[in-house]
């Protein structure tokens, strides 16, 4: 990596892979779903870049088989391509979570994964995962 320093280019991948690149805050509005009938809740995600470099970012949201990301009940995961996030910048994103007739009472875990990319969305530099739960009553 000394070769990069010689030509004035620095290797930022070491810095970005050491610490958590993002802060992820999740919130549900309304905070619950109803059991055994169609209902919807909005998952609001606040994403903050904690690094000193801009990051190309994407999010993947995964729900269990009893919930869905669409009204038909078929989509179990969703990718959102956020784009570049400047250092210390906040982005707010929204995704709808649907419950249906096969959704029983209980607590369901939803997984939110934020990916830091380089060059394009096919190359992953780092990732951070957060699990959150929604109650069905």
Kindly report the backbone phi and psi dihedral angles of residue 6, in degrees, each rounded to the nearest multiple of 5, phi listed first: -65, -40
Question: What top-level class would CATH report for the domain 2-136?
Answer: mainly beta
Check pLDDT > 50 for residue 4.
no
Check pLDDT > 80 for residue 19.
no
Integer Cα distance of 80 and 114 in angstroms: 10
- Judge whether 95 and 47 are in contact, CB under 8 Å: no
**What is the number of residues in the chain?**
137
Residue-wise pLDDT for 125-136, tens only, equals 999 999 999 999
For the chain, domain boundaries:
2-136
Integer Cα distance of 90 and 83 in angstroms: 12
Residue-wise pLDDT for 35-80, tens only, equals 999 999 999 999 999 999 999 999 999 999 999 999 998 999 999 9
Non-local CB neighbours of 18 within 8 Å, separated by 6+ positions: none
């Amino acid at each position: 990596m000394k070769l990069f320093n010689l030509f004035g280019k620095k290797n930022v991948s070491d810095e970005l892979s050491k610490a958590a690149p993002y802060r992820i805050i999740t919130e549900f509005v309304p905070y619950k779903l109803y059991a055994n009938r169609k209902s919807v809740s909005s998952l609001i995600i606040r994403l903050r870049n904690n690094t000193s470099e801009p990051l190309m970012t994407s999010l993947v949201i995964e729900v269990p088989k009893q919930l869905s990301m669409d009204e038909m009940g078929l989509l179990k995961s969703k990718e959102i391509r956020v784009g570049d996030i400047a250092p210390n910048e906040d982005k707010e994103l929204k995704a709808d979570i649907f419950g249906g007739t096969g959704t029983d009472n209980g607590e369901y875990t939803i997984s939110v994964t934020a990916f830091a990319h380089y060059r394009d969305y096919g190359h992953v530099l780092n990732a951070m995962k957060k699990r959150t739960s929604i109650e069905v009553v």
